[in-house]
Amino acid sequence: MKTVRGFASATVGNVACGFDVLGFAIKEPGDEVILTLSERKHSSCPVTISSISGDEGKLPLDPKKNTSSFVVLKFLEHLRAQKGIAFNGHISLELKKHLPLSSGMGSSAASAAAALAAANELLGQPCTKMELVHFAIEGERVACGSAHADNAAPAILGNFVLIRSYTPLDLIVIPPPDELYCSLVHPHTELRTSFARSVLPNEIPLKMATQQWGNVGALVAGLLTADYPLIGRSLIDVVAEPKRAPLIPGFFEVKEAAQRAGALGCSIAGSGPSIFAFSSSPDTAREAGIAMQEAFLTSKAKLPSDMWVSPICREGARIL
C-alpha cells in the first residue's frame, strides 16, 4: 500500500480577450486527490473512488464518469498502449473538493490535474507534465462535453498557458510577471458552461475579431515584458463578455468596483459566474476583491460570494 496526495489549484480560462486560447493558475484554493495503490486487483476497473467530500453529493462515484478517476484510467491506458507499461494493481481514489462546481474556477480541471499528478508520482513518473495535459483535457470532455484546454493546461503546468493549436496540441507556457496578483470572486450562484456557451454566436464580424486578436497579442506582450498598464489595457473581451455578462447578476457593478479600486482590469473567469481582476500589488488586489464582493452584495441580486487573492501559480499540479 502506497499513498500519494496530489494538489492542483483553481484556474481562470479565457482571461478576457483570450477566449478559448488562454488560461492561468492561481496558488489557492485547489482540489486534493489522494491515491492509494495496492498490488492486487479489487474490481474489474483498476480505479475506484473511495470517497468524495466537498461536492454536496453532486459528483458521480462511477470511476468512468467522475473526471478525476476517468483521467487516471486514460493515463493507465496510455501507459499500456504507448509505453508498454502494464498496470495490474488497483488504485483507490479519494477526492477532496475545495473548489465550487460550475463556478468558472476550473473545478473539474483541478480535480483531474491533482489526480494525474498523484497517479504519475505513484507509478514512478512515467509521463512528462506536458503528456499529462492530454489526459486532463480528456477529463474536460467528460466534465462538460468539450475538450477544452484553457483550464486543464494551466492546472497541470501552472503559469499562463496559451493554446496555439489543438491539432496538434501546441501549448506555450508564459511565466507571469512577478507583481501580478489575481482577485477571484465567486458569487453563490451557478452558471453551466454549456449554457454560457450557447449564448455565443457561431459567427462574428471580422472587425470584432481583429480587435480581439489585437488585444490577445498585446496581453501576451504585456505579460512577457511585465508591462502592467499594457496588461490592463489589453484585458478587453469584445466577443464573449458582452454576451455572457447579462447572465451574471451584478457583473457590471462588480467590474466597475474592481476598476475603481485600482485593478488593472477585470472580466469573467472562464464562462462565469466567477469574476477575476488583476492588480499589480497584493494590497490593491485585496482592495479590489473586497470592492467586488461588496458590489455583488449591493447589486440587485444581493449575491454573497467567496473571494481569494493570489499570485499566479508557477508550479502547476504538485504532490503534497
What residues line the site for a copy of itself (CB under 8 A)?
Answer: 17-22, 162-165, 170, 172, 174, 200-206, 209-221, 224-225, 230, 233-234, 239
By C-beta, is 123 or 180 nearer to a copy of itself? 180
Is 193 an annotated catalytic residue?
yes
Counting every residue written for the chain, the total comes to: 320
CB of 182 to a copy of itself, least distance (A): 19
Flag whether 13 is marked binding.
no
Among candidate residues 193, 241, 284, 287, the one labeled active-site is 193
Q: Which residues of 212-240 are buried (b: 16+ CB within 10 A; e: fewer)?
A: beebbebbbebbeeeebebbbebbbbbbb
By C-beta, is 50 or 146 nearer to a copy of itself? 146
Flag whether 103 is marked binding.
yes
Q: Output DSSP code: residue 169.
A: T
Among candidate residues 32, 140, 241, 287, the one labeled active-site is 140
Flag whether 106 is marked binding.
yes
CB of 21 to a copy of itself, least distance (A): 4
By C-beta, is 187 or 265 nearer to a copy of itself? 265
CB of 273 to a copy of itself, least distance (A): 21
Helix (H, G, I), strand (E, B) or coil at 81: helix
Contact at 8 Å (CB) between 22 and 78?
no
Give CA separation, 257 vs 12, 113, 260, 290, in Å. 20, 33, 5, 9
Flag whether 109 is marked binding.
yes
Helix (H) or strand (E) holding 292: helix 282-298
What distance in Å separates the CA atoms of residue 302 and residue 109, rounded to the nearest whole number?
A: 29
CB of 157 to a copy of itself, least distance (A): 14
Is 67 an annotated catalytic residue?
no
Which residues are catalytically annotated? 140, 193
Binding-site positions for ATP read 100-110
